[in-house]
């Protein structure tokens, strides 16, 4: 039986209909038309669908849309300012931290929360954090460089927008 | 990759949850953090007719210490418990850092991981190492299941279908107890090929007053290293005695081989990790003394 889910997405009040078995990831993509959140493995391994739930990263494929009622979600669409890119996104562009881009939304969202908790991570800490997001193109090297640049660069301001 | 349809129940109290489980029994599954169950739903390895979502049961969201134990409610997320454990129970903090990734631990619960009983996961082994127990509530009332009686086979516990794990309890070791934790995995956050957790505490004469060793990834359930514990208890610890104890614990194992690691490799790594974790525990005892 379909239910109406009301929640906050990227700072805006949104609502949509969801069967209980609909994942939050499919709800974001198919009901709210926010297709920046990607689905890779759909069982929690690849990290492509990572979004922020009340500011903390979670797998959107492992949460039901009905469980997100009343909560605040930030997707990759919510990371960028009204025009241009966030400092983290800019660093990914500058350092070529992506190739096909499929895994990028999940990595950006995960890293945004990571840098808030650990603003000056070591390379080792960055690599441990990235273990939760699979990238099959880059070999991670340029992703690590992009994150280091975002953390240590002059524009190292990665404070998340309030969700 | 979509779950089969199910009836969705979201009770607000333990009483309502237990009533739903009593009504639906084997047809129902309890959903807490969902980090193990939802993958199984998505892959249709599990097709429950009824999903009982306990995320709205506020009385399950507790963490308190009493009489040398920490009581962790069924809704406590691993990330929150990790923050608590950092200063109070560093062995648990270390074990939790090895559970999946931050995004998994933000949703996954400690009690849910115990109830899921994956033999390669950290928390069931930690429950054994810390003389823990699961508290189960069913229509017939509440019972406390010691860790040693909980794990029966891969993903199989002695919980009944109509029972809800309301909390898990771990002993909080005395402050001068030493601990060690180690696992071998392909990548950080992967399921361990083999892992070990150890705890030692000494008496005034420097002899081992108590020893705990638990191994995971080495069989159908987490395994207590009883042979090692017996060889160390009441003895003056030394590097040689620890090696002998670790070898004895590994010799008692009957691991399975699979695509990722042969049985022989698992036995060998178990001996090495048992030795490393017991050695780390002893060093921490000596630093505390």
pLDDT tens profile B96-132: 999 999 999 999 999 999 999 999 999 999 999 999 9
Contact A42 B107 (CB under 8 A): no
pLDDT at residue A162, as a whole number: 42
What are B203-219's pLDDT values in tens digits?
A: 999 999 999 999 999 99
CA-based nearest residue to B147, from B223, B63, B254, B199: B223
Select from A20, A42, A56 the Cβ nearest to the Cβ of B106: A56
Which run of H or E residues covers position B102?
Answer: helix B102-105
What are B261-271's pLDDT values in tens digits?
A: 999 999 999 99
Mean pLDDT of chain B: 97
**Separation CA B127–CA B183 (nearest Å):** 16
pLDDT at residue B51, as a whole number: 98
Contacts of B39 in chain A (CB under 8 A): 43-44, 62
pLDDT at residue A160, as a whole number: 45
Contact B103 A66 (CB under 8 A): no
DSSP state of B191: P
Contacts of B1 in chain A (CB under 8 A): 42-43
Using the structure block, give the residue that is written with the tokens 């069924």: B74
Helices of type H across B26-101:
37-42, 78-88, 90-97
Mean pLDDT of chain A: 93
Flag whether residue A143 sits within 8 Å of chain B, measured between CB atoms.
no
The neighbouring-strand residues paired with B70 are B65, B170
Contacts of A43 in chain B (CB under 8 A): 1, 38-39, 42-43
What are B247-261's pLDDT values in tens digits?
A: 999 999 999 999 999
What are B20-45's pLDDT values in tens digits?
A: 999 998 999 999 999 999 999 999 99
pLDDT at A1 over 50: yes
pLDDT at B62 over 90: yes
pLDDT at B287 over 50: yes
pLDDT at A159 over 80: no
Query: Side by side, which strands form the sheet with B50-53?
Result: B7-9, B50-53, B28-31
For residues B82-96, average pLDDT: 96
Cα separations in angstroms, A117 against A55, A94, A106, A129: 11, 23, 17, 12
In this prediction the pTM is 0.94
Select from B35, B51, B189 the Cβ nearest to the Cβ of A62: B35
Is there a contact between B278 and B200 (Cβ–Cβ < 8 Å)? yes
pLDDT at A9 over 80: yes
Q: What percent of chain B has pLDDT over 70?
A: 100
What are B167-180's pLDDT values in tens digits?
A: 999 999 999 999 99
Neighbouring C-beta atoms of residue A13, cutoff 10 Å: 8
Q: How confident is the model at residue B189 (pLDDT cuts 50, 70, 90)?
A: confident
Domain annotation for chain A: domains and CATH numbers: 3-78 (3.10.20.30), 87-152 (1.10.150.120)
For residues B225-233, average pLDDT: 98
Interface test mutation site (partner B, options A21, A72, A110, A126, max chain B beta carbons within 10 A):
A21
pLDDT at B191 over 80: yes
Flag whether residue B38 sits within 8 Å of chain A, measured between CB atoms.
yes
Contact B53 A57 (CB under 8 A): no
Is there a contact between A65 and A24 (Cβ–Cβ < 8 Å)? yes
Residue B53, min C-alpha distance to chain A (Å):
9
For residues A4-20, average pLDDT: 98
For residues A39-61, average pLDDT: 97
Burial of B1 (0-12, 13-18, 19+ CB in 10 A): middle
pLDDT at residue A154, as a whole number: 59
pLDDT at A161 over 50: no
Q: Which residues, including other chains, have CB under 8 Å from residue B263's CB and lie 6 or more apart?
A: B254, B255, B256, B257
Contact A20 B8 (CB under 8 A): yes
Q: Which residues, including other chains, have CB under 8 Å from residue B178's CB and lie 6 or more apart?
A: B199, B200, B201, B280, B281, B282, B283, B284, B285, B286, B287, B288
End-to-end C-alpha distance for chain B, whole angstroms: 55
Flag whether residue A57 sits within 8 Å of chain B, measured between CB atoms.
yes
Select from B2, B79, B104 the Cβ nearest to the Cβ of A44: B104
For residues A37-65, average pLDDT: 97
pLDDT at B135 over 70: yes
pLDDT at residue A153, as a whole number: 74
Taking CA–CA distances from A42, the nearest residue in chain B reads B1
pLDDT at B87 over 80: yes
The neighbouring-strand residues paired with B223 are B215
Contact A59 B104 (CB under 8 A): yes
Q: Is B86 helix (H, G, I), strand (E, B) or coil?
A: helix
Burial of B33 (0-12, 13-18, 19+ CB in 10 A): buried
Domain annotation for chain B: domains and CATH numbers: 7-53 (3.30.43.10), 58-171 (3.30.465.10), 178-288 (3.30.390.50)
Flag whether residue B55 sits within 8 Å of chain A, measured between CB atoms.
yes
Which run of H or E residues covers position B199?
Answer: strand B194-202
Phi and psi dihedrals of B210, rounded to 5?
Answer: -160, 145
**Separation CA B134–CA B149 (nearest Å):** 10
């Amino acid at each position: 039986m379909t239910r109406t889910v009301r929640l906050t997405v990227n700072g805006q009040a949104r609502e949509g209909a969801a069967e209980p078995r609909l994942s939050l990831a499919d709800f974001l993509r198919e009901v709210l038309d926010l297709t920046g959140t990607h689905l890779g493995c759909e069982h929690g391994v690849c990290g492509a669908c990572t979004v922020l739930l009340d500011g903390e990263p979670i797998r959107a494929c492992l949460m039901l849309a009905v469980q997100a009622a009343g909560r605040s979600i930030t997707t990759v669409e919510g990371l960028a300012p009204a025009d241009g890119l966030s400092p983290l996104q800019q660093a990914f562009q500058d350092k070529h931290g992506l190739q096909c881009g499929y895994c990028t939304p999940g990595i950006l969202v995960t890293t945004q929360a990571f840098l808030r908790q650990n603003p000056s991570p070591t390379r080792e800490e960055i690599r441990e954090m990235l273990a939760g997001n699979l990238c099959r193109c880059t070999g991670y090297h340029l992703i690590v460089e992009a994150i280091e640049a975002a953390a240590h660069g002059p524009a190292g301001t990665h404070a998340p927008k309030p969700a | 990759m979509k779950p089969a349809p199910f009836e969705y129940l979201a009770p607000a109290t333990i009483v309502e949850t237990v009533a739903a489980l009593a009504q639906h029994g084997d047809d129902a599954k309890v959903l807490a953090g969902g980090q193990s169950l939802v993958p199984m739903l998505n892959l249709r390895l599990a097709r429950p007719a009824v999903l009982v979502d306990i995320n709205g049961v506020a009385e399950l969201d507790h963490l308190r210490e009493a009489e040398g134990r920490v009581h962790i409610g069924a809704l406590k997320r691993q990330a929150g418990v990790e923050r608590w454990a950092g200063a109070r129970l560093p062995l648990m903090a270390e074990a939790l850092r090895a559970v999946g990734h931050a995004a998994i631990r933000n949703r996954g619960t400690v009690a849910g991981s115990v109830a899921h009983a994956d033999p390669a996961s950290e928390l069931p082994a930690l429950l054994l190492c810390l003389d823990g127990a699961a508290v189960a509530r069913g229509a017939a009332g509440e019972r406390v299941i010691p860790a040693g009686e909980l794990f029966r086979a891969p993903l199989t516990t002695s919980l009944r279908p109509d029972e809800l794990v309301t909390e898990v309890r771990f002993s909080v070791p005395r402050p001068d107890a030493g601990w060690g934790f180690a696992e071998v995995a392909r990548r950080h956050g992967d399921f361990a090929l083999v892992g070990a957790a150890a705890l030692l505490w000494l008496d005034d004469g420097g002899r081992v007053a108590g020893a705990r060793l638990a191994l995971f990834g080495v069989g159908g359930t987490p395994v207590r290293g009883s042979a090692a514990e017996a060889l160390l208890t009441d003895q003056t610890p030394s590097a040689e005695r620890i090696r002998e104890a670790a070898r004895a614990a590994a010799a008692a194992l009957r691991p399975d081989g699979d695509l990722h690691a042969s049985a022989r490799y698992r036995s060998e790594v178990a001996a090495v990790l048992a030795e490393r974790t017991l050695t780390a525990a002893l060093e921490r005892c000596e630093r505390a003394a």
